[in-house]
Chains A and B, each alone.
Chain A
Amino acid sequence: MTPSPDVVIVGAGIVGAACAYELAQAGARVEVIDQSTPGSGATAAGMGHLVMLDGDELSRLSLDLWHALAKDLPKQAEFWNCGTIWIAANDDELNAAKTKPGVEMLDASQLYQAEPNLRPGLAGGALATRDSVVYAPVVTRWLLEQAKAKITSAGVTAFDTLHAGAVICATGALTPKLLPNLPIKPRKGHLVITDRYPRLVHHQLVELGYLQSAHGDSNESVAFNVQPRPTGQLLIGSSRQYGVETESIDRHMLHRMLRHAFEYLPALRDCNVIRTWTGFRASTPDKLPLIGRLRDHLYLATGHEGLGITTSLGTAKLIAAEILGRTPPIPPEPYRPERFHG
């Protein structure tokens, strides 16, 4: 048995916290450094949608891990297995959705039975029953506590000055400030939360066109993506923008996003909005994260785009396997940093 490596993790978002948790489980002493409150970046800004994407082994593994972890999570983590309904606006989308693995297909009448407030005229949907939602800041704090991680409140400007057996960069959309040569760009998103409207929506609702917005490269895009919180509040998303670094609301994006959401769920028009905010995803050219060794003792766990909360747990498994020399639970190649300079 090798002695426990001392690990320093830069970034106390959910990805950094999950890595801390995983490595601590293996016996490592972990320090987490962040200049801000743990879980206050994209972890707090995101929806907390735990979602499986087709063909992405990391999200499948992670969803399994979330279901296994759920029973241990504190109540305030609000883990809720509400499922996702991918909404098909027309028959083409419905047919395409049939290739999704692990979903129950819904015809139009089943869709309206499940979600009566959707606008008329939709073709149907695909229900991903294992998808869930979670309140990520509480999970982040819990993971750090379980890891007994030392939390240091400080800014980091360079990794070379950090001395540890392994240093993990889990800095999300701030990564370009530290490692400007990595192919990561901040991708801004807007979110809106309403007052409580229980029973208006029962599942996370996402249009199938979402994937074009998420995986496409257009400078600005919106998609219908609404999440019911266990409190009855509704989160309304989503938008994607490159090239904007200010945190303020970009009203034209907010409008596009809302107008699009009203098209799918007209009842939203009358729901009182109590807060709007923005956050930044860490986007890579192929929309997959960078997980693995970059150089020397420096490992990357960043670039998760809109999927960081979901794939935080799987990311931690891959990182821990590499650092500890264990067999990875899934093939790590699609996520390895060297794919961009191999």
Chain B
Amino acid sequence: MTFDVAILGAGPAGLAAARAAARSGKSIVLIDDNFAPGGQIWRGASQIELPSGVRFYPQTRLFAVDPGFTLHTEPLGTIHTTTLILATGARELFLPFPGWTLPGVFGAGGLQALVKAGADIKGKRVLVAGSGPLLLAVAATLRKRGARIAGIAEQANFGTVVSFLKKYPAKLPQAIALRARLIGVPYMTGVWPTRFEPRQVTLSTGRTLKIDYLACGFGLVPNTEVAQHLGCRLDDGFVAVDSRQRTTVDNVYCAGEPTGIGGLDKALEEGERAGAAATGQPVSRKRSHTGAFVRDLAATFALHHQLYSLAGPETILCRCEQVTHATLAPYREWRDAKLQTRCGMGACQGRICGPIVHHLFGWTATSIRPPLVPVPAASLLTTETPPEPENDRSDNAHPSNP
């Protein structure tokens, strides 16, 4: 299969990019690993309209990209394209505290997704804890599906949250609307969970709450693996782009959270710009979502340093390989820690524990190589290409694929 443009990710940024790109009349393919478009934020929304002329493949996982570009996907197979738009979104940041791996603790977005997919939460007492605007949205969804929200614990201070809303009054109606759906739910600021035991959470104030589920969202980690695999430059962990959403690799564009955590409006605007730029259309010079908003958002919900020291010696940091804090603490660098403890070597390949050890120990877990996601061994054989000339891997003058 060959397309003019391939868009990775069908969340807000990817859909906006698809709409913009489709106006060019070029052939567009959009792939996503979920079963429906919408991404994390519009997951399960019923009226997502796909632009006509865009071929959409759901439940399609990208596991390798060759220069030029050939996308290797599971279970679809290979897709050829000359232009790529990365709209790969973000995932939740998990922070370890005693009990965080027990049944009953969920990622906030993860629990929201489960509930939207039909999991029954009626009558369950839930504390939503962590940081950022996502907490309100998650609490509202859970409540709508019948959960009893025991409270929202926002680790940021009340004052910082208020200053943020004053500075960005456009966000106020959204916050008010969400809050209106949460009448009667205590919104605590400057508070975070410090321990979870079955049916009980202890808060940083020392108070305990009886709950069934704890939904934690400490922020978002950009999904930059594909960009890194392609060799795009990252600045401070985010994909570097210019005003046309171009990355440092020719014909690779990036939009949405991977360029800076900024939420829906930024994703839509960047997606539109990337879709237009990638198809040779004029790009709007108007930028309402600048770096300042991204920085303010990050600063407002910056995590309190005490959140990085909640884990006890026996708290597990790497879930796949069951590696504890005490096991990792003696190491000075990631490579050594990984080799000796197998931290990050399990099925998630460091996607969960990588950000954790980054925050706790300052290690940068760099291991981006195919397969980018686990795939059946037989699928690796679909990456069939003619034998390459020797030692050409670092050569930028790749032959274009058919």
Chain A contact residues, CB within 8 Å of chain B: 36-40, 44, 76, 137-138, 141, 192, 194-196, 236, 243-246, 248-252, 254-255, 258-259, 261-262, 268-277
Contacts and interface: CB of A to CB of B under 8 A. Distances in A.
Given A251-B385, A254-B380, A195 B347 contact: yes
26 contacts: A37-B333, A37-B335, A37-B336, A39-B339, A40-B336, A44-B339, A137-B340, A141-B340, A192-B380, A195-B374, A243-B390, A244-B391, A249-B369, A251-B385, A252-B387, A258-B380, A261-B377, A262-B378, A269-B376, A270-B377, A271-B376, A272-B376, A272-B377, A273-B374, A273-B377, A275-B369
B345 interface: yes
Contacts of A236: 377
Chain B interface, >50% SS class: loop
Given A274-B371, A277-B369, 10 more contacts: A36-B335, A40-B339, A76-B341, A138-B340, A244-B390, A269-B376, A272-B374, A274-B346, A274-B349, A275-B371
A196 B374 CA distance: 12
B231 to A, nearest CB: 12
B120 to A, nearest CB: 29
B384 interface: yes
Given A141-B340, A249-B370, A273-B371, A192 B377 contact: yes
B76 interface: no
Nearest to B381: A255
A44 B340 CA distance: 10
A252 B387 CA distance: 6
B380 A273 contact: yes
Contacts, number: 87
Nearest to A250: B388
Nearest to B332: A37
B304 to A, nearest CB: 33
Given A39-B339, A273-B371, A274-B349, A248 B377 contact: no
A258 B374 CA distance: 16
B248 interface: no
A254 to B, nearest CB: 7
Contacts of B371: 273-276
B393 interface: yes
Contact of B369 (A141, A246, A276): A276
Nearest to A272: B374
B383 interface: yes
B100 to A, nearest CB: 22
Contacts of B378: 258, 262, 269-270
B399 to A, nearest CB: 15
Contact of A40 (B335, B380, B393): B335
A208 B371 CA distance: 30
Contacts of A196: 347
Contacts of A261: 377
A141 B333 CA distance: 14
Nearest to B374: A272
Contacts of A270: 376-378
